[in-house]
Amino acid sequence: MQSVGFKEWALVCEALGTGRQSIILRKGGIAEGRAGFSFQHREFFLFPTFFHEQLGRVRFPGAVFLPAALPNEIEIRYFVKVDETRVLTDWEEVRALEPLHILKESVVRERFEYSEAPGVHVAFVRVFQLDPIWRFLDAKAYGGCRSWVPLPEPPAGLQFRPVEGKK
């Protein structure tokens, strides 16, 4: 298994990991390169990112900001398998995905309209909870505004339990 992390808001990681969300919407990070963003990996670990603005950009009540495990430590709880990806350039198609994610419409619209070419990348995913939680030291290699980061080798004996969606 390739050990790669996909950087995503911690609240979105938890929504995926608890079945509240079943898609990933992405326009791309500043440091994606000339080709821009793509879902270049079909399997990856969710790498949670933390910043306080997330709380006001999601639409479920009782959202709790999840602090990082310990200073200088990364905590990986979830693994993702991508079933399908699409690039959507029709706003009504993107808007119809609202039941599948926790982001406020204004946030999705901002991503959709971010560049000269309106649209977003969508991945329909299956999520797996890790047992035990995988922890390792933070490093400069994980910084920056990019979506994909190489991770260390996962620990032996890591178990993957499928996450069921909310009914």
Q: Per-domain residue ranges for the chain? A: 4-162
Range from 47-56, 102-111, 142-151 carrying the lowest mean pLDDT: 47-56
d(CA 123, CA 126): 10
d(CA 125, CA 46): 12
Give the single-character DSSP code of 93. Answer: H
The label of the residue with tokens 């901002």 reads 110
pLDDT in tens, 38-61: 888 999 999 998 765 676 777 765
Nearest to 102 by CA among 36, 42, 165: 165
Report how far apart, in Å, the C-alpha atoms of 151 and of each of 31, 45, 120 are. Answer: 18, 9, 26
Considering the four listed CATH numbers 3.30.70.3040, 3.40.50.970, 2.30.130.30, 2.40.420.20, the one that applies to the domain covering 4-162 is 2.30.130.30
Nearest to 166 by CA among 9, 7, 14: 14
* Ramachandran bin of 54, using left for φ above 0, alpha for ψ from -120 to 50, beta for the remaining angles: alpha
Whether the pLDDT of residue 18 is over 60: the answer is: yes
d(CA 13, CA 119): 22
Q: What is the pTM of this model?
A: 0.88
pLDDT band of 70, cuts 50, 70, 90: low
